Structure formats: structure tokens, C-alpha cells
């Protein structure tokens, strides 16, 4: 029995979330191997560009780093954390008065089909 590596788990999660975004009529680019602040970049039907950082567990330091990037670049980033049957999404949006929208995680449940 092959043990799934952290890389394979992360890759699988990225493809699951990519498929979810594509069902929302987004064009999605996966930035595999970039080690940058975004794993996925999505362009919505209205032309809005949104960056997504995916993780298997919430890391406060990573979240704070994403806030800094969003403020500096004036972009919208979602920090997406894997949950048991879906994911939790934390929106970081520089378009507000203080520069940050810290929403309660919105639970999105999806059956895993792989």
C-alpha cells in the first residue's frame, strides 16, 4: 500500500478546489512548484482576479503574511484550509477601510470523489 505524501495530499486538494472554482465559471491557473503566496489564481466571469492559498491546517504566520501581501499589492486573497469534508475559507480583501476583511470561516462541504 502506497502512503500518500504531503505533496500528493496538497496536490489532490488543489485539484479538488480548482474543480470547484471551475464549476463556478472561473478560469483557474495552478501555480505548481512556484512556492509563492498563491497556489491557484482564478479569473471570474466579471474579470475579477482572486488569489487562493491552500493549506491542510491553519497557520497564523502564513495568514498574517497573506494579509501583508494583500495590503501591499491591493489584491484579494482567500486562505483556504482543508476540513474533514470540504474546506474553510478566510477572505483577505484590501478594498475595505482598514484593509482587511476577516470573515468567519465559511464552511463549504464537498464529497471527496477520488
CATH code of the domain containing 75: 3.40.1350.10
Strand partners, 83: 86
pLDDT(105) > 60: no
The answer to whether the CB of 70 falls within 8 A of the CB of 94 is: yes
Tell me whether residue 1 is in a domain.
no
Distant-in-sequence, close-in-space partners of 4: CB < 8 Å, separation ≥ 6: 12
Residue 71 pLDDT grade (very low, low, confident, very high; cuts 50, 70, 90):
confident
What would the grid cell of residue 79 be?
A: 486562505
- The region that residue 22 occupies, defined by phi over 0 for left and psi between -120 and 50 for alpha, beta otherwise, is alpha
Domain of residue 102 covers: 6-109
Q: Is residue 114 part of a domain?
A: no
> Do the domain assignments include residue 21?
yes
Q: Which residue has the higher pLDDT, 106 or 67?
A: 67
For residue 33, tell me if it sits in a domain: yes
Contact 78, 90 (CB under 8 A): yes
- Backbone torsions φ then ψ of 51, nearest 5 degrees: -100, 145
Task: Give helix then strand counts, H and E, for the chain.
Answer: 2, 6
Write out pLDDT tens, residues 27-44.
999 998 778 899 999 999
4 or 97, higher pLDDT: 4
Amino acid at each position: 500500500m502506497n502512503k500518500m505524501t504531503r505533496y500528493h495530499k496538497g496536490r489532490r486538494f488543489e485539484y479538488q478546489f480548482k474543480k470547484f472554482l471551475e464549476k463556478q465559471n472561473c478560469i483557474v491557473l495552478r501555480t505548481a512548484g512556484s512556492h509563492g503566496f498563491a497556489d491557484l489564481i482564478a479569473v471570474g466571469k466579471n474579470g475579477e482576479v482572486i488569489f487562493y492559498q491552500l493549506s491542510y491546517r491553519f497557520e497564523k504566520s502564513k495568514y498574517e503574511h497573506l494579509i501583508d501581501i494583500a495590503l501591499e499589492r491591493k489584491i484579494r486573497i482567500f486562505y483556504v484550509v482543508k476540513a474533514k469534508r470540504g474546506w474553510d475559507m478566510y477572505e483577505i480583501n484590501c478594498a475595505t477601510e482598514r484593509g482587511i476583511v476577516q470573515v468567519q470561516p465559511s464552511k463549504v462541504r464537498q464529497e471527496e470523489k477520488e
